[in-house]
């Protein structure tokens, strides 16, 4: 048994950290404290702080997490597309049953339903690459914006295309799409925030410029819409951060569990090799079975078997005392380990089994555990090979 087989592999602790932002890295602590005294961080710093995502210290572990998370992201994208398909199909059906009048919704909802359905079919592929999924997610985000924008209250009543629009028109559709982008679409947090802000600002601008009825009370409706948009964006960011951290925590726990199991299997294998190097296999297996199902007096059981027609070889290294005085203890142990390791290989080739090592003495026997008629000849060949190895 070589010493290298028993070498321990160090385990590197893994931690999760927040990804540093460029603004935060450039600001010294004194400047940060001064900014806090002036009424809090600037809006850009606050946006960066919210958009920063968790990542692992180890780049290899982060790459492993992204590969592990691909299937979850694919499933999440399918759920988002399913929600959008149901949404657009329901709106298209309602618009179709509402009457024969021509509106923007009657043309946009069926088209978006077909687009989302096509993306759903493409996403539902067994072997989907990371880059392909990213492109699908970006297309989903793009068409979600066009769907949201066309749900805004455009004033086309003057042209006779549709009745006058209300300020609250399209609010629940836009809020639903915004929340889906946060909770289901696997995009970066900053991109989801930008999408939510663009959708909200687009609706507010279209409402302020297109809706003409009751303009004196329009600002109240705009304030209510703005509060709703802020609420859904804050809630979406909150859900996204918690979901991201929960996924990373679950991945890390699964990874640690697998690593502990592999380490346990490695330790069991080392103990197995150590036990097999000390005892014959049949005796070692009998001892293991007894320890797994221990009787009341297990340590009083003696594992002794009688064997006839065997030959025992006893070998002693000549000049070992003088050799030991010429080298250090570490060098001596290394030399004996390499030498006895070679002897073990020779014993296997010559149908012998090592039974004991005592200092520089090497004991082996032939005829165990399977009887051999030429056991004496095997021991002689073993001795000659040992002499050739030393010389």
Q: What is the per-residue pLDDT for 142? A: 94
More confident residue, 58 or 259: 259
Residue 1 scores a pLDDT above 80: no
Residue 77 scores a pLDDT above 80: yes
Highest mean pLDDT among 147-151, 153-157, 365-369: 147-151
pTM: 0.59
CA dist., res. 20 & res. 3, Å (int): 44
Q: What is the per-residue pLDDT for 294? A: 62
Percent helix, percent strand, percent coil in the chain, to nearest 5 = 70, 5, 25
Residue 316 annotated as catalytic: yes
More confident residue, 248 or 266: 266
CA dist., res. 160 & res. 164, Å (int): 9
Binned at pLDDT 50, 70 and 90, residue 45 comes out as: very low
Dihedral pair phi/psi, residue 203, rounded to 5°: -65, -40
* Among candidate residues 78, 12, 19, the one with its CA nearest the CA of residue 245: 19
Q: Which of 8-17, 32-41, 152-161, 208-217 has the lowest mean pLDDT?
A: 32-41
Q: Choose, from 114, 241, 317, 355, the residue flagged as catalytic.
A: 317
Domain ranges of the chain: 59-155+165-261, 311-390
Residue 87 scores a pLDDT above 90: yes
**Token pair listed for 294:** 């221990």
More confident residue, 13 or 108: 108
Measured in whole angstroms, how far is the alpha carbon of residue 196 from the centre of its chain? 28
CA dist., res. 223 & res. 136, Å (int): 35
Highest mean pLDDT among 45-49, 126-130, 361-365: 361-365
Peptide bond into 250 cis (omega under 30): no
User: Residue 236 is inside which H or E element, if any?
Assistant: helix 218-278
Q: What is the per-residue pLDDT for 296? A: 62
Q: Choose, from 316, 374, 387, 390, the residue flagged as catalytic.
A: 316
Residue 239 scores a pLDDT above 70: yes
Binned at pLDDT 50, 70 and 90, residue 254 comes out as: confident
Residue 317 annotated as catalytic: yes
* Among candidate residues 323, 327, 322, 311, the one with its CA nearest the CA of residue 368: 311
Q: What is the per-residue pLDDT for 34? A: 38
Q: What is the mean pLDDT of residues 332-361?
A: 87
Kindly report, residue by residue over 121-130, the tens digit of the pLDDT.
999 887 888 8
DSSP for 322-372 reads HHHHTS-HHHHHHHHHHHHHHHHHHHHHTTEEEEEEETTEEEEEES-SS--
Q: What is the per-residue pLDDT for 51? A: 47
Q: Which of 32-41, 312-321, 371-380 has the lowest mean pLDDT?
A: 32-41
Q: What is the mean pLDDT of residues 272-301?
A: 73
How far is the CA of 59 from the CAs of 24, 64, 66, 249, in angstroms?
21, 9, 11, 16
Q: Which of 42-56, 135-149, 285-299 has the lowest mean pLDDT?
A: 42-56
Bridge partners (DSSP) listed for residue 54: 18
Residue 114 scores a pLDDT above 90: yes
Q: Which of 117-131, 188-202, 297-311 has the lowest mean pLDDT?
A: 297-311
Residue 196 scores a pLDDT above 70: yes
* Among candidate residues 84, 235, 194, the one with its CA nearest the CA of residue 148: 84
Q: Choose, from 85, 115, 136, 360, the residue flagged as catalytic.
A: 360
Residue 49 scores a pLDDT above 70: no
Mean pLDDT over all residues of the chain?
A: 78
**Residue 98: which residues within 8 A CB-CB, separation 6 or more?**
none
Q: What is the per-residue pLDDT for 370? A: 78
DSSP for 38-104 reads TTS--HHHHHHHHH--EEESSHHHHHHHHHHHHHHHHHHHHHHHHHHHHHHHHHHHHHHHH-S---H
Kindly report, residue by residue over 135-148, the tens digit of the pLDDT.
999 999 999 999 99
> What proportion of the chain, given as a percentage, has pLDDT over 90?
26
Q: Which CATH class is domain 311-390?
A: alpha beta
Dihedral pair phi/psi, residue 315, rounded to 5°: -125, 135
Residue 273 scores a pLDDT above 70: yes
């Amino acid at each position: 048994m070589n010493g290298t087989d028993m070498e321990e592999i160090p385990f590197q602790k893994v931690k999760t950290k927040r990804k540093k932002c460029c603004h935060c890295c450039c600001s010294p602590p004194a400047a940060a404290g001064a900014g806090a005294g002036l009424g809090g961080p600037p809006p850009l710093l606050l946006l960066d702080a919210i958009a920063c995502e968790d990542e692992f210290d180890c780049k290899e572990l982060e790459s492993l997490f992204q590969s592990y998370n691909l299937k979850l992201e694919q499933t999440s994208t399918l759920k988002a597309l399913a929600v959008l398909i149901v949404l657009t199909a329901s709106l298209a059906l309602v618009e179709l049953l509402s009457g024969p009048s021509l509106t923007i919704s009657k043309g946009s909802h069926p088209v978006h339903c077909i687009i989302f359905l096509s993306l759903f079919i493409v996403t539902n592929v067994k072997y989907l690459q990371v880059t392909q999924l990213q492109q699908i997610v970006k297309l989903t985000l793009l068409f979600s914006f066009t769907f949201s924008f066309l749900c805004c209250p455009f004033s086309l009543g003057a042209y006779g295309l549709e009745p006058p629009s209300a300020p609250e028109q399209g609010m629940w559709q836009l809020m639903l799409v915004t929340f889906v982008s946060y909770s289901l679409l696997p995009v970066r947090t900053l991109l989801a925030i930008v999408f939510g802000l663009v959708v909200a600002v687009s609706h507010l601008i279209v409402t302020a410029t297109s809706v003409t009825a009751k303009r004196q009370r329009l600002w109240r409706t705009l304030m209510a819409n703005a509060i709703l948009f802020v609420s859904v964006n804050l809630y979406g960011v909150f859900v996204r951060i918690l979901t991201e951290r929960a996924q990373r925590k679950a991945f890390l726990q699964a990874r640690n569990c697998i690593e502990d199991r592999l380490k346990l299997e490695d330790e069991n294998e080392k103990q197995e090799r150590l036990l097999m190097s000390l005892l014959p296999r049949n005796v070692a297996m009998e001892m293991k079975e007894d320890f797994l199902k221990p009787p009341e007096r297990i340590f009083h059981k003696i594992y002794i078997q009688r064997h006839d027609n065997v030959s025992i070889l006893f070998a002693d290294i000549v000049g070992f005392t003088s050799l030991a005085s010429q080298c250090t203890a570490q060098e001596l142990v290394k030399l004996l380990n390499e030498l006895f390791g070679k002897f073990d290989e020779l014993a296997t080739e010559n149908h012998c089994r090592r039974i004991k090592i005592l200092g520089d003495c090497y004991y082996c026997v032939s005829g165990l555990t399977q009887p051999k008629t030429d056991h004496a000849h095997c021991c002689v060949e073993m001795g000659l090979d040992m002499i050739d190895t030393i010389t």
